[in-house]
Structure 1
Amino acid sequence: MDNMKVAYETMLGLAAEMVLDESLRNFRTEKLYLAIDQALANGDAESFQRLTEELKTFQ
């Protein structure tokens, strides 16, 4: 019975970690899109290039 409890707790921990990772990825992606939009609005080509390259690593 203890083995089942350990396995269950391990699975819950992994599921929580996956949810957290996805949330952080979504948050960072949204921030990158906002920064890219701002760089476009400001005509900042260098920031636009850097940010789009960073965004590609998330996708």
Structure 2
Amino acid sequence: MGKMNVSNNALLALFAEMVWDNAIRKYKEENLYKEIDRALAKGDQTKFLALTSELKSLQSSG
């Protein structure tokens, strides 16, 4: 029974990490969209391009 608890704990820890990683990625993505909108509103092409590149990178890594 002890091994089963260890396995269950490991699976729960892995699941928690996956949920946490997903929440962080979603937060970063939402923040980037807001920053992209601000850059567009200001007409800041350099910042817009940098932020969209960062967003693409974030989306391709997950």
TM normalised by structure 2 equals: 0.94
The answer to whether the aligner puts 1:39 opposite 2:39 as a matched pair is yes
Give matches, 1:40-55, under 5 Å. Answer: 40-55=40-55
Unaligned segments of structure 2, at least 5 residues? none
Kindly provide the CA deviation profile for residues 11-59 of structure 1, in whole angstroms up to 9, marking residues without a partner as x: 0000000000000000000000000000000000000000000000111
* Cα RMSD, aligned residues only: 0.4
Q: Runs of 4+ in structure 1 displaced over 4 angstroms? A: none
Aligned pair count reads 59
Give the TM-score of the pair, scaled to structure 1. Answer: 0.98
- Aligned letter for 1:31? N
Identity of aligned residues (%): 47
> Structure 1: how far apart are the matches of 2:7 and 2:23?
24
- Which residue of 2 is the match for residue 9 of structure 1? 9
